[in-house]
Structure 1
Amino acid sequence: MKFADTTVSNERYEENTQRLSKRHIWNKAFKGICFGAMAFSILMLIVLLIRILTQGIGFLSWDLIVNFASRNAEDAGMLAALAGTIWLMVVAAPLSFVLGVGTAVYMEEYAPVNRFTKLLQTNISNLAGVPSVVFGLLGLTIFNRLLGLGASVLAGGLTLSLLVLPIIVVASREAINAVPTDVKQASYAMGATKWQTIFRIVIPTSLPGILTGTILALSRAIGETAPILVIGALTYVASTPSDLFSNFTAMPVQIYDWTGRPQEEFQNIAAAGIIIILLMLFFMNSIAVFIRTKFQKRF
């Protein structure tokens, strides 16, 4: 009997050893696939950056920033596009921030837990992955035609607000949900009301995540071309917007127009324009990292 038990134990040990070895092989294979995907993505990014830098670095100049668009490549600039992008952010940033954070606070702190709330949360999360051209069609229907705003800065800013709003809501909800329950309970124990707890405890504590998500969402909005093209942004503008109802262009639209021209000079200044917009995005992302680091030390 003892010999039989020993034999069974050895067989089970061998089976377990084989299973573990197979798992190790699958783990190594999966790790290799993930590493290969990461390496391929980084390699393509490096190739793209090298291509843009080598093509456009020689055409970077102050004239490219202060000049308006022109039919001659040597005189062309992106002042109108840069001003239009800033106007769009002036409209989109405060509106999307207020609506996004307000929605997140309501859903996390006030909304009842029921099927409707869960359905709303799922739909908001799904909207964050909807193609940007869909938001452009929505903006064209509502702001451009229904409200009669036309191809104005206000219509473009409202459309970009719709684009980044789901992203801000999701990021803000995650940041608010990460606030420790003990901190809120301590506030209630000190006699604070729900609104006082939210205003003085929850929002300040979750502010790093909220601001980081907002800035990253606005960084995406700066690089979007499809939504503002759909609502009628112009590809040639020889003036900066004077108010919210002015016609406009934006940096991605201007770059898109230059890349579509057959002259090699326009494609070179398009590469220079891409470098400028990449520097803007890098600056905004750096601000997001700085804010997150600063407030995390504080709270």
Structure 2
Amino acid sequence: MQINTSAVAEVPVSSRKRNTSTFANKMKSYLRHPGSGVLALLTLLATIMTFGMLAFLVGYILVKGIPYLSADLFSLTYTSENVSLVPSLINTFIMTVMSLLIAAPLGIFAAIYLVEYAKKGSRLVGLIRITAETLSGIPSIVFGLFGMLFFVTALKWRMSLLAGAFTMVIMILPLIMRTAEEALKAVPDSYREASFGLGAGKLRTIFTIVLPSAVPGILAGIILAIGRVVGETAALLYTSGTLPSVPDSLMGSGRTLALHMYVLSCEGLHMNQAAATAVVILVFVLFINWLSGMVAKRIAKG
């Protein structure tokens, strides 16, 4: 059997011709409309600068921190010699899970009410949205002072993981609510109408049709909330404390990874270990993002 080599060779040539003609058409369009060309160039430059800054930041952290990752840094107990980050890593995981267990259901249910049940244009909906946007713009130090005055002092929870978790709930709740609301709005109304047409009730439609379709957007907000919890220092400094150990209960004090890095850098004696802690924080956040992306893909396929 003979193979037509000329036909095989013509395929890349034709594709190159199509690419060349497409590029030429774009150039002609930009010449006819110079403003479009300028905007396209600015967009390309902004993309390159954003990616470049991200690559530089990640590369700088890795170069500065990886050489100082040692076995002592991952000891089970903290001492002034090894400045282990393992207790802080465990506290970070506990703080993140506690905050999300409280904030995620509240934020998602609030978004469901605003999108599915509340009357469009009502004053209550406008008030809730303004409140959420206002809370999103408040500096974290203000949340820390509120948590210290209310949870630590008024409720007598002392500096504890519980006080820190509730403070973080107040911080991330508007973020989760707003992203979940936008994700629910993005679901086409035809999905709801088709479900109603088949005889499904409103509640069943929400939990079997609307929510699964909005999962990727909701998870995006949860990922942002996780990043804020992991990287927060000011609010937790006044609520959870800075003890470098895993507490026996939620009423005990403990520092997170970000606080651990902050304390080491403030002392000025363990700057190399602080850089290594930054690497661990980066890997932790990347792992959470990867895990959330995998969950979103499986839910979307299901």
Query: Could you state the TM-score of these two structures normalised by the residue count of structure 1?
Result: 0.83
Q: Does the CA-based 8 Å contact 1:216-1:284 persist in structure 2?
A: no
Equivalent pairs, count: 273
| Dislocated runs of 4+, deviation >4 Å | 20-23
1:68 equivalent to 2:77? Answer: yes
Instruction: Name 1:16's counterpart in structure 2.
Output: none
Instruction: Name 1:6's counterpart in structure 2.
Output: none
1:170 equivalent to 2:178? Answer: yes
2:249 to 218, 243, 246: 243
Q: Does the CA-based 8 Å contact 1:216-1:285 persist in structure 2?
A: no
Structure 1 residue 81: Cα displacement: 0.8
Structure 1 pair 189–26 and aligned structure 2 pair: CA distance change class (3 A): closer
Instruction: Name 2:117's counterpart in structure 1.
Output: 110
Structure 1 residue 232: Cα displacement: 5.2
- Structure 2 residue matching 1:260: 3-state secondary structure: helix
1:55 equivalent to 2:61? Answer: no
Q: Calculate the aligned-residue CA RMSD, in Å.
A: 2.3
Amino acid at match of 1:143: F
Greater Cα offset, 270-279 or 129-138 = 129-138
Matches within 5 A, 1:2-151: 24-72=33-81, 75-113=82-120, 114-151=122-159
Distance 2:267 2:31 in 1: 56
The C-alpha deviation readout for 1:42-95, integer Å capped at 9, x for no partner, is 3333333333222221221343122433333xx221122112112212310110
Distance 1:181 1:51 in 2: 47
1:294 to 289, 294, 298: 298
Q: Does the CA-based 8 Å contact 2:180-2:217 persist in structure 1?
A: yes
Structure 1 pair 142–23 and aligned structure 2 pair: CA distance change class (3 A): farther
Instruction: Name 2:271's counterpart in structure 1.
Output: 267
1:191 equivalent to 2:230? Answer: no
Distance 2:213 2:57 in 1: 39
- Structure 1 residue matching 2:267: 3-state secondary structure: coil
Structure 1 residue 30: Cα displacement: 4.0
Structure 1 residue 138: Cα displacement: 2.4
Unaligned segments of structure 2, at least 5 residues: 1-28
Distance 1:87 1:232 in 2: 12
Structure 1 residue 228: Cα displacement: 0.2
Unaligned segments of structure 1, at least 5 residues: 1-19
Matches within 5 A, 1:207-246: 207-231=215-239, 233-234=241-242, 236-237=243-244, 239-246=245-252
Amino acid at match of 1:135: F
Instruction: Name 1:157's counterpart in structure 2.
Output: 165
Q: Does the CA-based 8 Å contact 1:212-1:291 persist in structure 2?
A: no
Structure 1 pair 189–42 and aligned structure 2 pair: CA distance change class (3 A): closer
Structure 1 residue 255: Cα displacement: 0.3
- Structure 1 residue matching 2:285: 3-state secondary structure: helix
